[in-house]
Amino acid sequence: GQQVMQIPQYQHVQEGEDFTTYCNSSTTLSNIQWYKQRPGGHPVFLIQLVKSGEVKKQKRLTFQFGEAKKNSSLHITATQTTDVGTYFCAGYNNYGQNFVFGPGTRLSVLP
Amino acid sequence: NAGVTQTPKFQVLKTGQSMTLQCAQDMNHEYMSWYRQDPGMGLRLIHYSVGAGITDQGEVPNGYNVSRSTTEDFPLRLLSAAPSQTSVYFCASSYAGGMNTEAFFGQGTRLTVV
């Protein structure tokens, strides 16, 4: 079955440093979504990428979908303490009816 | 606008007990799903429903039952709780289960089985 991996599992950064998490799928994806979960909270939708090579920006967050549509990345510029949480990618392919979530990257930001 | 509402927020069960986790949404979404979240394993799909009267198994369905008698409600039943079912459970809904649909998650139910 489809597998979605994320690296790193944990990342500790100093406030103001950049952060990147990578998502890799074992199969070609139709689209990919990113979610953020604050500590003790629930996942909240951030963005969806559909096109090969697509890049989308939300303020300090940059999302990229790979050319082969098997990988994606989320980059945060100049992290802030409000960025703390776990970032999940979720991949969807044409063979399934559901998104498959990666294990997440937990980000800690030291003030 | 309530969104997705889960009850209870916390629950402790003894091994062998049964219980139902409630999930309701008020967005008229067709697609609803249940996930469990365990440390280091992300969100794993238990069961899902693409509309009233239709349910299907996800990645980890054993030990759980669901039904979807209305568009709004999607309860998850634990038939005979086991310690391995200790987890945080999330219900989610979306306009449709396919592409181009963001999922809205409930607040979660933290279940401990002793």
Chain A interface disruption, residue of B6, B25, B29, B37, most A CBs within 10 A:
B37
**CB A102 to CB B42 under 8 A?**
yes
Cβ under 8 Å to A: B residues 89-108: 90, 92, 97-100, 102-108
- The answer to whether the Cα torsion of B91, B21, A37, A73 is positive or negative is negative
Burial class (CB in 10 A: 0-12, 13-18, 19+), A63: buried
> From its phi and psi, is residue A97 left (phi > 0), alpha (psi between -120 and 50) or beta?
alpha
- The rounded distance, in Å, linking the Cα atoms of A72 and A84 is 20
Instruction: Assess whether pLDDT exceeds 90 at residue B38.
Output: yes
**CB A43 to CB B105 under 8 A?**
yes
**Residue A22, C-beta contacts closer than 8 angstroms, at least 6 positions apart:** A6, A7, A71, A72, A73
Tokens representing A58?
Answer: 């939300």
B39 interfaces chain A, CB cutoff of 8 Å: no
**B97 falls in which pLDDT band (50, 70, 90)?**
low
Nearest to B23 by CA among B31, B32, B11: B32
Walk along chain A (111 residues) in steps of 10 and give the mean pLDDT of each run: 90 98 94 96 96 97 97 98 97 76 96 90
Residue-level pLDDT at B110:
97
- Render pLDDT for B13-22 as a digit per residue (tens, 0 to 9): 999 999 999 9
Instruction: Assess whether pLDDT exceeds 70 at residue B75.
Output: yes
- The answer to whether the Cα torsion of B50, B55, B57, B62 is positive or negative is positive
